[in-house]
Structure 1
Amino acid sequence: MNKTIIRVGVLLILLTTVAAFQTKKKQVLIIGDSISNGYTPFVQQNLDGIAEVVHNPGNGKHTGNGLKHIKDWIGETDWDIIHFNWGLWDLCYRHPESQVQGQRDKVNGTITYSLEEYETNLDSLVRLIKKYSDAELIFVTTTYVPEEEAGRFSEDAQRYNAVAKKIMKAHGVAVNDIYAKSRRIHRKYGKGDDDVHYTEKGSEKLGKHISNYLKKQLK
């Protein structure tokens, strides 16, 4: 009888341990601007039961803002994956007298961070993220910029992405290249030829792509 009780007890412990292991969700931190704010809810839905997906508070804006807040965003959580991006804000031209939302003005304005400054800042950010976390890092490329956008030149998205890819290669960081996908999605589900943002359907499409990539990494 005692042996039977012991065996049952051991079996229950094993089953409890296995169940706890199976139900433990992975921890994913998404860092980015309003584009990522748009697709994150869909990523959370798609990864429900697989991972706990959290976005950094508010808008990640540009690399300068990232340098100020990255330590707080990472915090004390033991992240499994940090999926991050900066770019759209960095390559944006702004002018204090512009009446366009965000004071965007690519004719008379000043760029937020030049290509060289972006490269330096992004390199520093990767080093800091690695310092504060042991998570697997994934850089997601900057999304499509339509031609008529008031504060951004369309070709700059790919120029900044090229620099970002070079930095990620040097640091051994994976790249989730969504530029081409975002361009196709934007043409059908973008908010307009003068707006980098997406309709809800567009964000859902981006979220599906991001989710599929993360699922492969989480396995």
Structure 2
Amino acid sequence: MQPVIPVAVRLETGGGRVADLPDDFAAPLYFSNRSTVETKRLRTVGGRTEFERDRQMKILRWLSDRERPGRPRVLLIGDSIRMRQADTTGYGLHAYRALVNDYNLSHISHNTENSGLVRELIDDWLQCAPDVVHYNAGLHDLSRHPRTDVLPPWHHPVDRYQDNLRFVIGRMREHGVRTIVWASSTPVHDGWHDVDVRTGRPRGVRRKNADVIRYNAAAAEVMAAEGVPINDLYARVMNEGVERCLVPDGVHLSHHGSAVLGAQVAETITRLHPPRPEHAATPGKHDGSTT
């Protein structure tokens, strides 16, 4: 097996602005080249989940048209709440638009799913040397089989979830990340999520909002002990209105929810890790509050 080779893919736009390319931002990035193709297979061995990468890795995608000296590097890590899902954008695009003039911004081109996958790949991702990491995992960790309630391979009980979070925070600090921001997991609309309204059938995974609350509380314990600030996306969705912020699958963000959370992510990053004064754009107003 060949070694895993970290790859950063820089988006070149010539005279154009990357902010004018939202579709390109939101779409996952795939390569057929053998050194950069990424796939992930899960297998359960002796009750444990192992991640097989086979010469592959998650691709870091740079979203600035060039690496601009003196501007902080920001890395966004998160699941499909961050990314485009179906016909919605996720909060990442909106955060990018708000931050692009003051920061060098990157994200993982794929869904980073659960805390175990983040633990497995965090050292690869951190080779882009970010100053700021905005991080979430949870909605995959707490998911279950809809009929049998059997834990799928990517499910992590609360104690293992907390251990994964501690490990990742530790690795970020060892890599020299200056500002770490934890984002709470967003709510689940139980009524919408249990059954697909189009087919009347149970969905492929089961999530309950009570579990979201429980896992968020567990994550908050870890972040309090580690001194990591929390961007409370859960509270913002609840305050804004769950039915306004989610699409009918009961999990993913609507356009409104994506915009609201993107503004809050941008405001949080700007407040906790301000850009250098000579690079700061004219301040804009961002809605949202954090804890």
TM-score higher than 0.5 here?
yes
Instruction: Determine the C-alpha separation between the residues in 1 that align with 2:220 and 2:208.
Output: 19
Question: Which one-letter code corresponds to 1:121 in the other structure?
Answer: N
Identity fraction in percent: 27
Q: TM-score, normalised by structure 1?
A: 0.79
Aligned residue in 1 for 2:71: 25
Does 2:56 correspond to 1:56? no
Q: Which runs of 5+ in 2 are unaligned?
A: 1-67, 84-89, 195-205, 275-291
Deviation at 1:186, TM superposition (A): 3.1
2:142 to 91, 97, 106: 91
Alignment of 1:70-219 (within 5 A): 70-75=122-127, 77-94=128-145, 105=146, 107-110=148-151, 112-148=155-191, 149-150=193-194, 151-183=206-238, 184-192=240-248, 194-219=249-274
Deviation at 1:153, TM superposition (A): 1.0
DSSP-derived class of the 2:190 partner: coil
Over 3 Å counting, the alpha-carbon distance change for 1:106 and 1:166 in structure 2 is farther
**Which structure shows the higher helix fraction?**
1
Instruction: Determine the C-alpha separation between the residues in 2 that align with 1:68 and 1:48.
Output: 29
Between the two proteins, the alignment pairs up a number of residues equal to 186
Deviation at 1:23, TM superposition (A): 6.9
DSSP-derived class of the 2:120 partner: helix
Q: Is the 8 A contact 1:106 1:153 kept in 2?
A: no
Aligned residue in 2 for 1:98: none
DSSP-derived class of the 2:214 partner: helix
Question: Which one-letter code corresponds to 1:175 in the other structure?
Answer: I
DSSP-derived class of the 1:138 partner: strand
Aligned residue in 2 for 1:18: none
Deviation at 1:59, TM superposition (A): 0.8
Structure 1 stretch displaced more, 26-35 or 130-139: 130-139
Q: Deviations over 1:56-78 (max 9, x none)?
A: 23011101111111011111x33
Deviation at 1:107, TM superposition (A): 5.0
Q: Which runs of 4+ in 1 moved over 6 A?
A: none
Deviation at 1:27, TM superposition (A): 0.8
Over 3 Å counting, the alpha-carbon distance change for 1:69 and 1:185 in structure 2 is farther
Q: Deviations over 1:123-148 (max 9, x none)?
A: 11211222223321110111111113
Question: Which one-letter code corresponds to 2:215 in the other structure?
Answer: Y
DSSP-derived class of the 2:81 partner: helix
Q: Is the 8 A contact 2:75 2:132 kept in 1?
A: yes
Instruction: Determine the C-alpha separation between the residues in 2 that align with 1:201 and 1:106.
Output: 32
DSSP-derived class of the 2:189 partner: coil
Over 3 Å counting, the alpha-carbon distance change for 1:72 and 1:185 in structure 2 is farther
Deviation at 1:179, TM superposition (A): 0.8
Q: TM-score, normalised by structure 2?
A: 0.60
Q: Deviations over 1:22-77 (max 9, x none)?
A: 973221111110101211111110112111221123011101111111011111x3
